[in-house]
Amino acid sequence: MQDVVGMGLSLVYVLAVLAASSLLARHGMGEEGTRKLVHVALGGWWVVAALFFTSPWWAAALPAAFIVVNALAWRKQKLAFMARGEGEDTPGTVYYAVSLTLIALFSFGLGAPYVGALGVFCMAFGDGLAAVLGRRFGRRPLPGAGGGKSLAGSAAMLGVSFVSCAGVLLAAAAVDWEGAVPTFAPGAGLAPGVAAASVLAALGLAVAATVLEAASPEGLDNLSVPLGVTGLYAVLFLPAGPFTPAVAGVLLSGAVALAALRLGLLTVPGALGAVGVGALAFVFGGWPLWLLLMWFFGSSNVASRLMRRWRGGAQAARKRSGPRKLRQVLANSVPFLACALAYAATGEAWFLIVAAGALAASTADTWASEVGMYSRKPPVNIVTREPMQRGLSGGVSPLGLAATTVGAVSSAFLAMLLFHAFGFAVPTGPTAFLFVIACGIVGSVVDSFLGVLLQAKYRAPGGSGAGAGGEAGNGCGAGAGADVGTLAGVGAGTAALAADGALVEAAPSRGAAGYTLVSGYAWVTNDAVNLLSGIAVVALGLLVALP
């Protein structure tokens, strides 16, 4: 009955806020003002939730429903108080509802709604007031932040977040959360040491919230700030529990994903996917698999930058792969995650080794693409050994092959070092080490063969697009970082493709005229080849490794 009352009061509160904002919008308040009013006022709903809800499912029901409502409203731009001014078009309101839903499930599931209040108040009050004050007084931009962030706005974010977190933590020390209804015990737990610790913790959380808000682009602060603050408090100050690895994985992967967004290495969906993949890797395989995953994501970009500095000139001006999309992240991650899950379920050490081998294959393959694009010798087809057009994958070069080997060996060395450093019971001796190296090299070679045999290749209209690749590529150094090359029929057809300079591997957009599918299958994209080669490596690895 208490949850039903809480739901009724929650509906009344939320509808009152939305009605007031709509009314103010009709009476001349600007779009940004009404939107921020909703942003700030809805933070107060958490007080209602904390006082009445006992079930995490009841607490999460209303914000979960608003995920759908906000998504539809954002797409259609039907609600004036949810519109963004100045040409902005980000699903920040959707992220807001997602955050409330996840935090409600987490904190009410722990029986500690105050933990969720930390993140919610930083998002609602800190971020909301920071935007208002930043627009009013923010004459000096925040160095390195971009996106319209200002020193005044960040200072407001820090101050309001600190006051909010300190108030929550000090109040939590005087509240008994064990019963069905929170009861106040004035003075309980407010010894000087407890109060000082609460204030220091609040300051640290406020600093974290300010950094996350400044670093988050495209409305993502409505995810990063509440989830980051709540997760950080849970990991640092709550007793360790089953949730700890998952929360730690989200925090670590989220920090890396934000950095990748700032560097243009990931799209927003790709970054969100990378957070999920990283969290699962940490849950299933701990620090070793997570660090191996980070090595895969980061090392190829470092190698590419080093090659650009070394070679420079025309080589550096070639078309490079753009930021990784969600489908690219998943295509490179699903096979290794399947092995990591099998290890977590069975405890069989060789599943862990095969997972490392799958990551080594992705790393070696990506190194070959990123480094091989700087080869001064033109690539040759991996099947026929005939010269290929630069930018088409499925070709090999000495530099690309060397990069494949280095990527595989470095991944194997790091894997063995991490497994033993963190006490994982994996096979010792050279067998496992050589096995991971073999997985890395074989995976890259298989990827190239699959690309030559299966991936779609198109002739561009009017002979345009020569050498143009597409998404981040694979293969043993195809030359220009394009997708893996394709060929349905090897032999004479290969020579014809290599001689033609107007072939592209990126699928034409819908409605594009003049593109002709020359070979391969339209559904076999670079991402499909990545996934298929990863599955092949895992399957071969399990056949060899397991009895």
Q: Residues 397-417: what's their mean pLDDT?
A: 90
Q: Other C-beta atoms within 10 Å of 384: how many?
A: 17
Lowest pLDDT segment from 65-79, 130-144, 254-268, 343-357: 130-144
Q: How many CA atoms lie within 13 A of 82 on its CB side?
A: 24
Higher-confidence residue: 260 or 308?
260
In the predicted structure, residue 487 carries a pLDDT above the cut 70: no
**Predicted local distance difference test score (pLDDT) of residue 308:** 65
Q: Residues 424-430: what's their mean pLDDT?
A: 81
Residue 546, classified by CB atoms within 10 Å of its CB into exposed (0-12), middle (13-18) or buried (19+), is exposed
**Predicted local distance difference test score (pLDDT) of residue 547:** 61
Strand 503-504 to strand 516-519: parallel, antiparallel, or no bridges (unpaired)?
unpaired
Q: Other C-beta atoms within 10 Å of 55: how many?
A: 14
**Predicted local distance difference test score (pLDDT) of residue 48:** 93
Asked if residue 26 lies in contact with residue 72, where contact means CB atoms within 8 angstroms, the answer is: no
Residue 368 — φ and ψ, nearest 5°? Answer: -60, -40
Q: Residues 386-403: what's their mean pLDDT?
A: 77
Q: Residues 447-468: what's their mean pLDDT?
A: 69
**Predicted local distance difference test score (pLDDT) of residue 482:** 36
Higher-confidence residue: 524 or 319?
524
| Percent above pLDDT 90 for the chain | 38
**Predicted local distance difference test score (pLDDT) of residue 336:** 93
In the predicted structure, residue 188 carries a pLDDT above the cut 60: no
Higher-confidence residue: 334 or 38?
334
Residue 58: what residue type?
Answer: W
Higher-confidence residue: 402 or 303?
402
Distances (CA, A) of 193 to 189, 423, 427, 528: 9, 37, 49, 58
Higher-confidence residue: 261 or 483?
261
Among 18-32, 300-314, 357-371, top mean pLDDT goes to 357-371
Q: Other C-beta atoms within 10 Å of 76: how many?
A: 8
Closest CA to 8 of 61, 86, 44: 61
**Predicted local distance difference test score (pLDDT) of residue 494:** 38
Lowest pLDDT segment from 433-447, 465-479, 528-542: 465-479
In the predicted structure, residue 370 carries a pLDDT above the cut 50: yes
Q: Tell me the angle at which helices 56-76 and 92-110 cross, rounded to the nearest 10 degrees.
A: 180
**Predicted local distance difference test score (pLDDT) of residue 80:** 45
Vertex 38: Cα angle to 37 and 44 (nearest 5): 100
Find all residues with CB under 8 Å of 1, minimum gap 6, and list them. none
- What proportions of the chain, in percent to the nearest 5, are helix, strand and coil? 70, 5, 30
Lowest pLDDT segment from 204-208, 430-434, 439-443, 451-455: 451-455
The first and second tokens of residue 440, run together, are 């890395």
200: left (phi over 0), alpha (psi -120 to 50) or beta: alpha
- pLDDT band for position 97 (cuts 50, 70, 90): very high
Average pLDDT, the chain: 79
In the predicted structure, residue 335 carries a pLDDT above the cut 90: yes
| Percent above pLDDT 70 for the chain | 76
**Predicted local distance difference test score (pLDDT) of residue 339:** 93
Is the entire prediction scored with pTM above 0.75?
A: yes
Strand partners, 395: 381
**Predicted local distance difference test score (pLDDT) of residue 334:** 93
- pLDDT band for position 62 (cuts 50, 70, 90): very high
**Predicted local distance difference test score (pLDDT) of residue 492:** 36
Q: How many CA atoms lie within 13 A of 65 on its CB side?
A: 9
In the predicted structure, residue 113 carries a pLDDT above the cut 90: yes
In the predicted structure, residue 139 carries a pLDDT above the cut 90: no
Q: Residues 203-213: what's their mean pLDDT?
A: 94
Residue 302, classified by CB atoms within 10 Å of its CB into exposed (0-12), middle (13-18) or buried (19+), is exposed
Higher-confidence residue: 387 or 83?
387
**Predicted local distance difference test score (pLDDT) of residue 310:** 67
In the predicted structure, residue 183 carries a pLDDT above the cut 80: no
The first and second tokens of residue 177, run together, are 């959360």
- pLDDT band for position 462 (cuts 50, 70, 90): low
- pLDDT band for position 313 (cuts 50, 70, 90): very low
Among 181-195, 306-320, 353-367, 445-459, top mean pLDDT goes to 353-367
Token look-up 């932040």 returns 145
In the predicted structure, residue 87 carries a pLDDT above the cut 50: no
- pLDDT band for position 207 (cuts 50, 70, 90): very high
Among 17-31, 118-132, 219-233, top mean pLDDT goes to 219-233
In the predicted structure, residue 189 carries a pLDDT above the cut 50: no
Residue 519 — φ and ψ, nearest 5°? Answer: -155, 170
Give Rg (Cα) of the chain: 27
In the predicted structure, residue 417 carries a pLDDT above the cut 90: yes
